[in-house]
A = this chain, B = another copy of it.
Amino acid sequence: MKVTTLGEIMLRLKSPGHERFMQSPSLEATFGGGEANVCVSLANYDMETDFVTALPENDLADACIRQLRGFGVGTSNIIRREGRVGIYFLETGANQRPSKVIYDRAASSVSLASADEYNWDKIFEGTTWFHITGITPAISAQTAEVTLRAVMEAKKRSITVSCDLNYRKNLWKYGVAATKIMPKITEYTDVVIANEEDCQKSLGITNDTDVTSGKIDDSKYKELTDKVMELYPNVSKVAVTLRESISADHNNWRACINNGKEFYVSKKYEIRDIIDRVGGGDSFAAGLIYGLNTYDSDTKALEFAVAASCLKHSIEGDFNRVSVKEVENLMGGDGSGRVQR
């Protein structure tokens, strides 16, 4: 069992506390990015993982690799080439003020690398599950090509492929729409992961839920996921996260899964003091991959994924620093937050 992911890992520069950008002359500097976040989560669950990306030859990239390796994530398929370390700037919202992301990914090494620079044979050696997100093809024409090639190479080797559609409106700036690329990628995907609006924005499948109202109508998600599976018969499971956003620090969090046989909606978690919401979706994807590979029931896998990502909202940084035991405690019902001593 080995999970491989491919994508961009960035330097994440966050203003302190809830400050607006540059209110103080200081930035919190960590690393993160959708696919790397999935690897770190899985490594924290003691799974074997490998993260594929392109990074330049400099001290920042070295530090990034050092951190991934510390978590136990495989880094031997990271190629070093011209370009920058991509950056994203983050300002944390509160109440009615949303968090804000400034992407600074132009000319990053991963955005410049072509599909042929990667050694697909080496990358997929021993891999049993390959995970990709809709962020990578949104970066550049090259990354779109790389993503498509990657899922094709994975399928050629009978590796299970999961894709988190993950639509980002501030990316997709290189002249091609998400709906031109994501459907192709979905054709090679076994497990589709999405949030409320991803299916529409990425696959063009309409769903009349109003995301900003904060209310979610479950039956709509049964229809929506049925539609995905109908259009993409290769897809065996579709999982959708259902976030009710009351305010920047108060969300309700659940998810549903449709495996063609049953449609199941998880337990709901009320999260009233969000510490860090970024990486929440990635921690769900990682939880689902862990669950589907560990438990014999899709509903239990879903509950693990939802509990894991619920906990992520209480953890600073992109990475979900929790153990299987902590997730299972929450699944088992103890969300009272009593001090462990």
Chain B nearest Cβ from A334, distance in angstroms: 6
In the complex, the answer to whether A337 meets B60 with C-beta atoms within 8 Å is no
In the complex, the answer to whether B106 meets A249 with C-beta atoms within 8 Å is no
Taking CB atoms, residues of chain B closer than 8 Å to A26 are: 24, 26-29
In the complex, the answer to whether A275 meets B18 with C-beta atoms within 8 Å is yes
Taking CB atoms, residues of chain B closer than 8 Å to A99 are: 337, 339-340
Bound state CA distance, A25 and B13, in angstroms? 9
Tell me whether A261 is interfacial, beta carbon within 8 Å. Answer: no
In the complex, the answer to whether B275 meets A96 with C-beta atoms within 8 Å is no
Taking CB atoms, residues of chain B closer than 8 Å to A80 are: none
Partner of A316, one of B23, B66, B67: B23
In the complex, the answer to whether A337 meets B22 with C-beta atoms within 8 Å is no
In the complex, the answer to whether B314 meets A18 with C-beta atoms within 8 Å is yes
Interface of chain A: mostly helix, strand, loop or mixed: loop
Number of interface residues of A (CB under 8 A): 87
Partner of A341, one of B170, B213, B249: B170
In the complex, the answer to whether B314 meets A96 with C-beta atoms within 8 Å is yes
Bound state CA distance, A23 and B59, in angstroms? 11
Partner of A25, one of B30, B72, B340: B30
In the complex, the answer to whether A273 meets B273 with C-beta atoms within 8 Å is yes
Partner of A336, one of B25, B247, B311: B247
Interfacial residues of chain A within 110-167, with CB under 8 A of chain B in the complex: none
In the complex, the answer to whether B89 meets A60 with C-beta atoms within 8 Å is yes
Tell me whether A71 is interfacial, beta carbon within 8 Å. Answer: yes
- With contacts A249-B337, A336-B214 known, is A60 near B22, CB below 8 A? yes
Partner of A311, one of B21, B96, B317: B96
In the complex, the answer to whether A326 meets B95 with C-beta atoms within 8 Å is no
Q: Which 9 pairs show the lowest CB-CB distances between chains A and B? A: A248-B337, A70-B70, A101-B341, A22-B63, A96-B335, A94-B314, A97-B314, A245-B336, A106-B107
- 24 inter-chain pairs at a CB distance below 8 angstroms, sorted by A residue, are A17-B316, A18-B315, A19-B316, A20-B315, A20-B321, A22-B64, A60-B89, A66-B70, A67-B70, A69-B70, A84-B104, A93-B337, A94-B275, A95-B310, A96-B269, A96-B311, A97-B337, A101-B339, A107-B107, A168-B341, A247-B336, A250-B272, A250-B337, A277-B339
* Supplied contacts A101-B340, A169-B341, A246-B336, 9 more A-B pairs, CB within 8 Å: A21-B60, A25-B30, A66-B70, A66-B72, A85-B104, A94-B314, A98-B336, A98-B340, A247-B273
- Show the binding face of A for B, using Cβ within 8 Å: 13, 17-30, 58-60, 63-64, 66-67, 69-72, 83-85, 87, 89, 91, 93-104, 106-107, 168-170, 211-214, 245-250, 269, 271-275, 277-278, 310-311, 313-317, 321-322, 326, 330, 333-341
